[in-house]
Amino acid sequence: MSICDLDVMRRMIRLCDDGWQQGWHERNGGNLTYRMTEEEVAEARPYFDAQPRPWVNMGVTGKNLAGAYFIATGSGKYFRNVMPDPEDSLCIVEINGAGDSYRIVWGLVNGGRPTSEFPSHFMNHSVRCEATGGACRVIYHAHPANLIAMTYVLPLTDRDFTRELWRSATECPVVFPGGVGVVGWMVPGGAQIALATCEKMKEFDAAVWAHHGLFVSGPDFDTAFGLMHTIEKSAEIWVKAHSVGMPIRQTIEDADLIAIAEEFGVSLRRDFLGDA
Ligand code: 13P
Ligand code: ZN
Give the tens place of pLDDT for each residue, 42-65: 999 999 999 999 999 999 999 999
What is the rounded CA–CA span in Å between residue 39 and residue 45? 10
183 shares its domain with 254: yes
Sign for the CA dihedral angle at 179, 183, 185, 187 comes to negative
What is the rounded CA–CA span in Å between residue 276 and residue 271? 8
Q: b/e for 221-242, b at 16 or more Cβ within 10 A?
A: bebbbebbbbbbbbbbbbbeeb
Domain termination site, one of 65, 83, 116: 116
Q: Is 156 strand, coil or helix?
A: coil
| CB-count burial class (<10 Å; 0-12, 13-18, 19+) for 70 | buried
In a 13 Å sphere around the CA of 232, the CA atoms on its Cβ side amount to 21
Average the pLDDT over 6-24 and give the result. Answer: 98
At how many degrees (to 10) do helices 158-166 and 221-241 cross?
A: 80
- Answer yes or no: is 126 within a domain: no
Domain termination site, one of 101, 116, 131: 116
CA of 122 to the centre of ligand 2 (A): 15
| Ligand 1 neighbour 132 (Cβ under 6 A) | no
Number of domains the chain contains: 2
Q: Does the pLDDT of residue 113 top 90, yes or no?
A: yes
Residue of 25, 91, 116 to test ligand 1 pocket, by largest number of atoms within 8 Å of CB:
116
Q: What is the CATH number of the domain that holds 44?
A: 3.40.225.10
Q: Write down the pLDDT at residue 276.
A: 65
Taking a C-beta distance cutoff of 8 angstroms, is the pair 44, 3 a contact? yes
- Answer yes or no: is 121 within a domain: no
User: pLDDT by residue (tens digit) across 182-241?
Assistant: 999 999 998 899 999 999 999 999 999 999 999 999 999 999 999 999 999 999 999 999
- Answer yes or no: is 125 within a domain: no
106 shares its domain with 146: no
Domain containing residue 65: 1-116
Q: Which of 39, 87, 94, 117 is catalytic?
A: 117
CA of 189 to the centre of ligand 2 (A): 8
2 shares its domain with 55: yes
- Kindly give the pairing relationship between strand 31-35 and strand 69-73: antiparallel
User: pLDDT by residue (tens digit) across 153-166?
Assistant: 999 999 999 999 99
198 shares its domain with 252: yes
276 shares its domain with 160: yes
Compute CA distances 228 → 194, 195, 225, whole Å.
19, 21, 5
Domain termination site, one of 116, 150, 181: 116
| 6: DSSP letter | S
Residue of 121, 141, 216 to test ligand 1 pocket, by largest number of atoms within 8 Å of CB:
141
145 shares its domain with 111: no
84 shares its domain with 210: no
Please say if 117 is a catalytic residue: yes
